[in-house]
Structure 1
C-alpha cells in the first residue's frame, strides 16, 4: 500500500491499484484455497485507507517543504488532470485538445479523465476472485488512457504478459495484435521524422499511428481478458477431451 501511495503521489493514476491490492490482502485463505466466505466491505475500506493515509502523509510533507503552500498540487496533480501541455506523445489527449474549441475543453477533460478510472469498479466486480489479473488489466488501461503516457508504461505490461501464457491458446487476435505492434514500432519514428524534421507530413500522420498504437493495446487487453474468462469458464464447466480414445474432462482441482 505504501508503494501504491508513492506511485499515486508521482502520477495519480496508480491509485486505482488500491482496489486489487485491497482484494488481494483481504481474501480469506484456507488450506491454500480460497474460502467461500465473503469479506465484508468495511475490511476492504480499511485496507484502502492505509494507502490513502500514506498518500496524505506525502502530500502534507510536500506542503511543509514548499513553504506551507499548496501551489505544488497545481503543478503536479493539476498538471496531470488539466492537461495544459499538448506536446505530441503516444497518447490521444494532445491531438483532441489541440483541435478542440476552448469552451468545450473542461467538459471533455472530465470525460477523458473519468474514462481512465471508469473501468475499475466493473472489472473489480467481475475479477474479484483474481486480484493479480485485475491489477494487470488496470496497469494496461493506465498506459492507454493516462494523459501523458510513455513507452515505459507500455514496457511494464508487455514484460508482464508472459505471466498469462497459460491463456494464450484461448486468444483469438494474436496475429492481428502482433502485426499492429510491429507496424507501429516501425512507422511511428518514420512519421515523426516526416512531420517534425522533413516537414513533408503533418500532425494527422503521427496521430494516426498513435491512435493505431492505442487500438493495438486495447485489442491486446480485451483479447487477453476474453481468453482469461473463457479459460475460467472451461475449468468450471468442463471441456470434453479425448485421452487414449476415451472422453475426459478438464476440471478444477
Structure 2
C-alpha cells in the first residue's frame, strides 16, 4: 500500500535532481559560451513508465532477497503463511487496539471472507487517490497513507501510532499557521484519554473479570477516532496549504464551504 506513494516521492526527487542538474549545466554553458547541447540533454525528464518498471522491479527483488535470506536462517517456509497469511485471514481475535477483532468476533463464518476482502479493499482504496490528489506533495501522500495503515490495519499497536505521529513532524510546515489545523488539541486530548483508560479497561475485563468486551472496544473506538481526527486534520492542512500557495491573498482567512 505504501509502494505507490513511495514511488511518487522517489520520482519527484529524481525530477528535482534532474532540474537542478539542468540549471547548473545551463549556467556552465552560459559562462563558457557553449551551445547548450548538454543542457538540452539534461533537461529531459525521466520517463515515468521506465521509472515505474525499475521501481517495482527493485521492490520485488528486495522482497525476494529478504525472503531468501529468511529461508536460509529458518528451517522451512512456514514463516510465510505464519506472517503474511495471518494478516490476510485474521485467525487470532485476541483483544487489541484495532477495529477488526470485535467486528469479526460477532461475524458469521459464512460472511467472514467477504468482509475480510471489504476491510482490505477499504485500506487499499486510499493509496492511489492520495497519490493523485497530492501529486505535488508526495511526502504528504506517504505520511497520510501511513496514518491510514496505522488506524485500519488488523493488528495495530501503540508503536504504530507513535511511528506515524513522529512522521507528522516531516510536515511541520502544515502546522505553522493556526488556519491550517483545527482539531489537533481535541485529538491529542482524546489520545491521552484512551491511553489512560485503555489499559485499565483491558485489566478489568481480562484479569479482574468485572468488565466486558464492550468497555474495552469502546475505548479502542475512542483511540481510533482520535487518530482519524488527526488524519483528517492533516488532510485539511495539506489542502489548505496548497490553496494558500495558489491564492496568497486568502492566507489566514476563514473558509466557508458552500
TM over 0.5: yes
Give the structure 2 partner of residue 79 of structure 1.
Answer: 86
Aligned match of 2:229 = 219
Shift of 1:134: 1.4
2:57 to 38, 49, 52: 49
Mapping 1:1-253, distance limit 5 Å: 16-27=1-12, 28-29=15-16, 30-31=19-20, 39-63=47-71, 70-168=77-175, 169=178, 170-240=180-250
CA displacement at 1:204 relative to structure 2: 0.6
**After the TM superposition, which of the residue ranges 196-205 and 154-163 deviates more from structure 2?**
154-163
Q: CA deviation at 1:66?
A: 5.2
The separation in 2 between residues aligned to 1:65 and 1:37, in whole angstroms, is: 42
Listed as ranges, the gaps of 5+ residues in structure 1 are 1-15, 243-253
SS of match in other structure, 1:31:
helix
For 2:140 and 2:44, how far apart are their aligned partners in 1? 20
**SS of 2:2 mapped into structure 1:** helix
Report the aligned-residue RMSD: 2.4
Shift of 1:228: 1.2
Question: TM-score scaled to structure 2, two decimals?
Answer: 0.79
Identify if the C-alpha distance between structure 1 residues 45 and 198 changes in structure 2 by more than 3 Å, giving closer, same or farther: same
Provide the secondary structure at the position in 1 that maps to 2:136: coil
Give the deviation of 1:60 after TM superposition: 3.6
Q: Which structure has the highest strand share of the two?
A: 1
Superimposed CA distance per residue, residues 59-108 of structure 1 (whole angstroms, 9 cap, x where no aligned partner): 244456556x5433211111111110111000011111111111111111
Give the TM-score taking structure 1 as reference length.
0.80
- Which segments of 5 or more consecutive residues in structure 2 lack a partner in the other structure? 23-42, 253-258
Question: Per the alignment, do residues 50 and 97 of structure 1 end up closer, same or farther by CA in structure 2, a change over 3 Å counting?
Answer: same
- Aligned pair count reads 225
- Partners of 1:202 and 1:32 lie apart in 2 by 63
Greater fraction helix: 2
Instruction: For residue 100 of structure 1, give the secondary structure of its aligned residue in structure 2.
Output: coil
Q: 1:185 to 1:66 in 2, by over 3 A?
A: closer
Q: 1:26: Cα distance to partner?
A: 2.0
CA deviation map 1:123-180 (0-9, x unaligned): 0111122222211111111111111111110111112323323322211112321221
Change (3 A) 1:36 1:224: farther
Q: Deviations over 1:20-79 (max 9, x none)?
A: 22222222121399x996852332232122011111222244456556x54332111111
